[in-house]
Amino acid sequence: MSKSAVDLPPKGGFSFDLCRRNDMLAKQGLKSPSFLKTGTTIVGLIFQDGVILGADTRATEGPIVADKNCEKIHYMAPNIYCCGAGTAADTEAVTDMVSSQLQLHRYHTGRESRVVTALTLLKKHLFNYQGYVSAALVLGGVDCTGAHLHTIFPHGSTDTLPFATMGSGSLAAMAIFESKYKEGLTRDEGVKLVCEAISAGIFNDLGSGSNVDVCVITKGHKEYLRNHLLPNPRTYVNPNGFVFPKKIEVLLTKITPLKEKVEVIEGEAMEE
């Protein structure tokens, strides 16, 4: 082989080196990590004046409820918000990253961010990672071209719809939307329908639960209704608190006095 052929840079395209490595490891008995089910219900719909987004507030860690009142509706721009389902760290990191890019774009142009700009930045980032960034998003906002609602899947594919649901409770929420959604909803009708769809996910999906958050976005205004609905209140609290019958016994008490030790080293002063 000639020297010129060796010095040529590798040609572009996909590299399948890791696929061969994974196949070799699988033949040696190494099990690949399994997929974990993530629990969430997030929805969005377009009403006569703008967009309404909704989400539950339960964060799960396998079979454990890690957080009963987390925030799943993320700020993107003053006129754009995004609901996130999937791995909490991925959804927060991706939305924060794109939010900062939109902020720089507004400084550079002096104009309001468009929803399609946020959509393009999100889908390009997720497509680059081929689904390994576990973030399923419902993006909504109102800009100079009107109200927009999009869904973004972890692999980078997108949909533009008048109403949308995502997450493990999406089927229950979609049943509510498909049976009751109509064009030209008022604000109160839209908020009521979003709350009903999230409640359907809360009561029919084990990965969704706790409270209902709602965000109403209109032209030049947004309203974030944190804990707008509490479908699962704590009904009983022991008025006497918790009593532990056995007291904690002190087995050993040892006090070690601390002494300051100061060593003075004589020498010449440092010259400036």
The secondary structure of 153-213 as a DSSP string is -TTS-EEE-SEEEESTTHHHHHHHHHHH--TT--HHHHHHHHHHHHHHHHHH-TT--S-EE
Pairing of strands 64-67, 163-166: unpaired
Q: What residues pair up with 139 in beta bridges, in sequence order?
A: 82, 150
Residue 164, CB half-sphere, CA atoms under 13 Å: how many?
A: 27
Q: Are 113 and 75 in contact (CB under 8 A)?
A: no
Task: Choose the catalytic residue: 38, 40, 91, 165.
Answer: 40
Tell me the CB-side half-sphere exposure of residue 265, using CA atoms within 13 A. Answer: 3
Does 40 participate in catalysis according to the annotation?
yes
Contact 149, 216 (CB under 8 A): no
User: Strand, helix or coil at 117?
Assistant: helix
Q: What is the DSSP string of 239-250?
A: TT----SSPPPP
Sign of the Cα pseudo-torsion (181, 173, 211, 222, in order):
negative
CA dist 159 to 71, 133, 234, 240, Å?
24, 18, 38, 53
Task: Point out the residues that are catalytic.
Answer: 40
